[in-house]
Structure 1
């Protein structure tokens, strides 16, 4: 049996690892670590986040970057310094599946009339001002599954919480029409299958 990896006292960006902690709710893989940040705050991070550089601080580094570009004016927000982060790429994909007819998931989002509010489309900075940084183990979920991506309709939720907001179909027909005894819970992500019941697994919205 392999010896568990110990990251104690190792430094990643502004973070120094102090000790291992249990995984956040809804996360079923990887090791998680409690870290101190150079700014004096503390945070948790996964092994993958630390090793890939996806998390280099408690969030202070991103806030400083956003503040810097906000003070420089709207034009600087186009190159806000966060374009290579995992969460920015998710933000970009959210807009694409709602507004790009060539996106493979457009039929499930933009094709259904789901859109991203103009404020969020204008700037990733605006999105972060409204929603904040993504908490560990959570993704963006729309409260009304047929509504838009906007501040009043979105929350950061765990996968378990999102399982209650599912729009399911089999071969293009609503689950309730195909299997009337199967009652999907409210509040989760879209899911589809071509006659294969094992495919009834929600896809992440974010």
Structure 2
């Protein structure tokens, strides 16, 4: 059960497939990209290594583990193919990279804050409490933390749109609401940046306004 195609989640899949002969499941849109060697920036290869290609199967609406049934919930935003997995019998959610931190400060260029907001609202419609996050670990109060993240992102979204309507540029908004320059920004050659939070919000706002 893979949550998305990023190499820090799929980097060991070729080895698992070769040595353990177990099926690997992912969203159908990522079957092709996973079948080939991963293509991503050198700094990520230095951190995670080079992901070899593997053969995954498309995930269905549910997946059966040894003792439990898991509902696959499409939760894009961090990645286009992102899936979270919910055990409806005990209220446990495997959230992949949907949560990570309650107060997002930098994101990948491919991410979309409005889409993440929509995905968080989607999972909050389900009955769960405990969350297993691939970066934050086990969160016994995961539902409450997702609500904290949602409130933070919606407030941030509103502030960014308000400042943009006042005529501020992306760079000026960044200096006001997300001024800290984290080391990952320069190290990643700006693939990670707080600026992407702002541009993803404004891109969605502009798209909505012309519909």
Q: TM-score, normalised by structure 1?
A: 0.28
Q: Identify, as 1 or 2, the structure richer in helix.
A: 2
Q: TM-score, normalised by structure 2?
A: 0.28
Structure of greater relative contact order (alpha carbons < 8 Å, 6+ residues apart): 2
